[in-house]
Structure 1
Amino acid sequence: MREKVKTVVEFRNPYHIEPPGTLRQILSHPTQENGVIELAIFQEHRYAFFFWNKWVQKCKTPEPPCLVSLDWHQDLCYPCETEKEWLNELDLLNDADVSAFTWSKLNGLNDGQILAAAYLNLVGNIYVHCRQGNSKDAWKDEELIDKFGNAHIIRKFEEFEELESFLLNSNEEKVFFDIDLDFFVLDSGLHNGIFEFTYLKKGRIKEILHSERALMKWIFKRLEGFTIATEPEHCGGLLKSNKFLDTINQFYFKPELFSPKANWKWKNGDT
């Protein structure tokens, strides 16, 4: 039997460690006068776990924000018993530990980060608008009971308008907004092996995500953090992924993201 080797990584500054390849920017809050939020961008969707934890630990509020996620995939894989043991042992106040865990122990298929976060009560109820679901059962509401005994409702929506209608009539007060850029893919062709991607038209993307859209106004009013996963391999390539990221950038920000004075367009008088 192969002997297990425990690897210990010593970080130069363990208090400021983030998952590899991530970008983060502090922005003014989109609607609050003096508030601020963070936006994080990364290729691997599981890295969102790190930032949800960071923001919850910073706010120290009794109830975590709900999660609103736009994604091609559902990304709703439940943690197995081994993963629960790992999560139970994780020091959530240690950036280095959480970063290493997110990179090395969360499922590399990037489909376990949401319910791992729910298990630790880092997100509240979960609302996912996605395209993945091959049966009626795949769209049924579910419930996860976290390690503290809290119930998290998991709702999946086939149509954006269904998500919008539900949330506008909900009593959710805080939101983590999460976009996987492969949400803009209609079909990848992976099921028939031809790999011909088709995409949402830019007009439809604008219709959904425009800052004056009722759901976007609802989200921005309650926003506690914004995560974007680029996942180029699921978008048809790096340039396609970058194109969709630039679309979001053009919709919401001026100057552009990660420039020194990046800000929400409407805070500069634009729409």
Structure 2
Amino acid sequence: MRDFKELELTFRNDSYIVPPGCRKEILTHPSGNGKVVEVALFQEHRYAFFYWLQWTRERKQSTPPCLVSLDWHQDLGYPGDIEQQWLKDLNQSDDGEVAGFCWATLPNNNDGQIMAAVYLNLIGDVYVHCRDGYGDEWADELFHDRFGNAHPIRKFRTPQQLEAALLTSSEQAVYFDLDLDFFTYRNHYTEGGSRFTYMPKGKILELLAPETSLMRWIFARLAGFTIATEPEFCGGISKSNKLLDMVTKLYFTPDLFHDACEWKHLRNR
């Protein structure tokens, strides 16, 4: 395996290095508390690792935020011995190295970013609501990071189960992670192969509406919001963009990455 450090890349702007195709927006906090929060958008889900690392590094707090992830897959691949050594060797203060690591070294099937972040204590407890029931374990687990900290890994089949767990927890900060393939019912991994079916728009809006108990809990504690578009697993780029459009129109006005972007529910107050 070639070490990406050997590529001797020259960055024209060392102060702004992100993985390929990533964008972020800095917005007022959705709770209306006067603070700010970042929303990051990318195609490859593993690039969320870059932002979790950057946000946790900037927080400079001993306890990292928990992760709430909505995804069709669990994305809970554990780092093996070699991968753990790569993570230990990663220079977390060098954005160029971290971006290259996400691109070249994290699993390109995008199933290893969560546990890699847990291993480095970049995120705390993990709450995953997903649909994938093909061969994955559904029992709660306990994972110890490289420093010996214990991280409960919890998996939920319904939003009601997720909501109940969060509302009774003591979590103070959360990274909200959304993979748009969560909104597929039938896809590559289900019977029927290339046929895709989708959650109805009304159900999507009902689940993610800012006024729900779940989203109010998340928005009150939001420390960062990552969105993976994953077009291959959404049935193509147009389908992925359609799902993204639903999410952005629900949350943002006039639009994400518009120079006047704001949380819609705040502007409508």
- TM bracket (short chain): over 0.9
1:69 aligns with 2:79: no
1:133 aligns with 2:118: no
Q: TM-score, normalised by structure 1?
A: 0.95
Determine the structure 1 residue equivalent to 2:95.
95
User: 1:14/1:196 Cα in 2 relative to 1: closer, same or farther (>3 Å)?
Assistant: same
Counterparts of 2:211 and 2:104, CA distance in 1: 39
Unaligned runs of 5+ in 2: none
Matched residue count: 268
CA deviation string 1:184-242 (max 9, x = no partner): 00111544454110110111111111111001000000000000000000000101100
Per the TM alignment, residue 255 of structure 1 is displaced from its structure 2 partner at its CA by: 1.4
Q: Could you tell me the percent identity over the aligned residues?
A: 51
Q: Is the 8 A contact 1:127 1:163 kept in 2?
A: yes
Determine the structure 2 residue equivalent to 1:21.
21
Determine the structure 1 residue equivalent to 2:243.
244
User: 1:103/1:170 Cα in 2 relative to 1: closer, same or farther (>3 Å)?
Assistant: same
User: 1:8/1:189 Cα in 2 relative to 1: closer, same or farther (>3 Å)?
Assistant: closer
Per the TM alignment, residue 250 of structure 1 is displaced from its structure 2 partner at its CA by: 1.1
Q: Is the 8 A contact 2:32 2:266 kept in 1?
A: no
Determine the structure 1 residue equivalent to 2:124.
124
CA deviation string 1:66-106 (max 9, x = no partner): 00000000000000111111100111111011001011000
**Bigger shift: residues 35-44 or 6-15:** 6-15
1:267 aligns with 2:263: no
Counterparts of 2:25 and 2:61, CA distance in 1: 22
Determine the structure 2 residue equivalent to 1:84.
84
Q: Is the 8 A contact 2:69 2:177 kept in 1?
A: yes
Determine the structure 2 residue equivalent to 1:52.
52
Per the TM alignment, residue 134 of structure 1 is displaced from its structure 2 partner at its CA by: 3.2
Q: Is the 8 A contact 1:65 1:173 kept in 2?
A: yes
Q: TM-score, normalised by structure 2?
A: 0.95
1:63 match: secondary structure = coil
Unaligned runs of 5+ in 1: none
Determine the structure 1 residue equivalent to 2:162.
163
Counterparts of 1:211 and 1:152, CA distance in 2: 28
CA deviation string 1:2-31 (max 9, x = no partner): 998943323223332100000111000001
2:7 match: secondary structure = coil
CA deviation string 1:92-147 (max 9, x = no partner): 11101100101100000000000000000000000000011236x71100111001
CA deviation string 1:138-159 (max 9, x = no partner): 1100111001110111000011
Counterparts of 1:3 and 1:68, CA distance in 2: 34
Counterparts of 2:123 and 2:195, CA distance in 1: 35
1:58 match: secondary structure = helix
Determine the structure 2 residue equivalent to 1:186.
185
Q: Is the 8 A contact 1:74 1:111 kept in 2?
A: yes
Counterparts of 2:3 and 2:35, CA distance in 1: 48
Counterparts of 2:127 and 2:50, CA distance in 1: 19
Give the residue type in structure 2 aligned to 1:38: E
